[in-house]
Structure 1
Amino acid sequence: MNKMISGVCMILLAMSCQKNSNQTTAAEEVKSETENTLKVEGTWKLVYGEIKEKDSVQVKDLSKTDFIKIINKSHFAFFNQNKGTADGFYGGGGSYTLNGDDYVEKLEYVGVEAIRNHEFPFKVKIVGDTLIQFGKEEVKDAGINRDIIEKYIRVK
């Protein structure tokens, strides 16, 4: 009988030492948030782009261009280069914030004055090596009011 009571006590003790899988410590939440933030950092190549404006949908033809986005801890930059020519090159960049899946780009460096220093709020999602960015681009002064969906693959 003593062995049975000791066995039951050992089982109860072991169960009480296990952490409830639904509970997280503050340190784990910070680590998880940091890991989420770090996932967007890197170099990304656009593989799909869709623009919805009013009642039309335009899918970007990426067969003749390369579009790259680079994201570090505090800034992003993007570059578009037509294949085989210097024509059509453009780029831009600035700072960004990421809070969960809320990603806001502040476009500080760009050749179009009307969109310089504008903030563009997006949602982001990462699935495997794919970054999906979507949201509304709206700049009244530039006549921009459209929804976008962009899919990037991580450049290794």
Structure 2
Amino acid sequence: MNGKWKLLPILGLLACTANTKPAAPASLPIEGTWQLLSSAYIKKDTTIRNDAPGTRMIKILNGSHFAFLLHEVRTPGDTLAPRSFSAGGGSYTLVNDHYTEHLEYCSARDYEGKDFEFTVALHGDTLIQSGVEKLKEYGIGEEDLPLVEKYIRVNP
């Protein structure tokens, strides 16, 4: 066989691989419904629990939007409306473990139109979300607060 024909299979393989792009890094599979297990702010050297006893919160994530709902849990025989209720939602982006919420709707209206950036980690059915809420920067609070929230996936 002529020498130039021996190179043909090699050139064919190179042509097949030359235009392939590396796969984009996969983002974490966070879509679904999540129940808040714990929430804490870190203020200077003190950890402050942010998940009040007697409340329940869920976060719902689809491919592009999130919503959260928080209210006081009724006790048996309680016929009054919950004294505490908070809700919000909007769009989000997730690139690898970098999660950004754009809060479009919120019962605390000062938060609307703000972006909140977090790092997320997924450990089995547990989602850990941590970041700094830029409350001072946004004119909502006295200082920016580091926040760590832990959620468990709600099974259908």
Contact 2:135 2:145 in 1 (8 A): no
Post-superposition shift, 1:26? 4.4
Determine what percentage of the aligned residue pairs are the same residue.
41
Quick one: distance in 1 between partners of 2:69 and 2:148?
17
Unpaired segments ≥5 residues, structure 1: 1-24
Write 1 or 2 for the structure with the bigger share of helix.
1
1:137 Cα shift? Answer: 0.2
The match for 1:22 is none
Secondary structure at the aligned position of 1:142 is classed as coil
1:113–1:62 Cα change, 3 Å: closer
Could you list the runs of 5+ residues in structure 2 that have no partner in the other structure? 1-19, 75-80
Q: What is the RMSD computed on CA atoms of the aligned residues?
A: 1.8
Letter in 2 for 1:109: Y
Q: Which residue of 2 aligns with 1:72?
A: 62
Matches of 2:63 and 2:54, distance apart in 1: 30
Inter-partner Cα distance in structure 1 for 2:95 and 2:82: 37
What is the distance in 1 between the residues matched to 2:85 and 2:51? 15
TM-score by length of 2: 0.74
Deviation string 1:85-105 (CA, Å, 9 cap, x unpaired) is: 511011000100000000000
Question: Structure 2 CA distance, aligned partners of 1:61 and 1:116?
Answer: 21
For normalisation by structure 1, the TM-score amounts to 0.74
Structure 1 ranges of 4+ moved more than 3 A: 60-63
- Equivalent residue for 2:117? 121
Match of 1:41 among 7, 10, 31: 31
Counterpart in the other structure of 1:142: 140
Amino acid at match of 1:137: E
Paired residues in the alignment total 127
The match for 2:46 is 56
Output the CA distance in 1 between the equivalents of 2:103 and 2:84: 19
8 Å Cα contact 1:48/1:62 also seen in 2: no
Letter in 2 for 1:71: L
CA contact (8 A) 1:109 1:116 kept: yes
> Equivalents in 2 of 1:137, 1:61: separation in Å?
16
Q: In the TM superposition, what is the alpha-carbon distance from 1:148 to its structure 2 partner?
A: 0.5
Q: C-alpha separation between the residues in 2 aligned to 1:61 and 1:106?
A: 22
SS at match of 1:139: coil
Structure 1 residue matching 2:134: 3-state secondary structure: strand
Q: 8 Å contact 1:130–1:151 — kept in the other structure?
A: yes
